[in-house]
Every structure is written in C-alpha cells, then in structure tokens.
Copies of this chain bind each other. A is one copy, B any other.
C-alpha cells in the first residue's frame, strides 16, 4: 500500500483507502472532523480546490501525517542511516 501522492486525485485515493482500511465511513470522518459528508466525498474524489485545512483535518482523523519527500524518491540508502 503505497501512499505517495503528487495530485489531488492521488491524495483523495490515499485517504479513501486508509479510511476503508480503518473500516470507517465518510460519516465517521464527518463526525470526527465537523466537516460534511459531502466535503469528505469531494476530497476523496480528488477536488484540488479543497482547502488545506480540510485535508489536514481528515488526515488527523485518520491518524495520518504528511512527509514531504523528493520526487520519485524511492527510499535512498542515505535516508536510512
């Protein structure tokens, strides 16, 4: 399960997959974030117009955080030690 994302579509897909993994519904996320189900839906469907605050709220609800890495950066040996 690779959760690398460069686009809103990829972020949305990653969030949806993580949510499913947790066995949660959009309604569950809605309850934890005070965002509407419609907003969660929009985000998961890759709306790039979504506010950063919204993305971060859903991330927090899912227990996720961002890591900013070099593009195409498949685990370099220098990154380990």
Measured CB to CB, the residues of A under 8 A from B are 3-8, 11, 14-15, 18, 47-53, 55-56, 59-60, 63-73, 75, 80
Main secondary structure of the interface of A (DSSP, over half): mixed
A-B contact pairs, 10 of them (CB 8 A): A6-B59, A11-B66, A48-B53, A50-B52, A51-B51, A59-B68, A64-B71, A65-B73, A67-B67, A67-B68
New contact pairs (20) apart from A5-B66, A65-B72, A66-B66, CB-CB < 8 Å: A3-B69, A4-B65, A4-B68, A6-B59, A6-B60, A8-B56, A11-B52, A15-B68, A48-B53, A48-B56, A49-B53, A50-B51, A52-B55, A63-B71, A64-B69, A64-B71, A66-B67, A66-B68, A75-B80, A80-B80
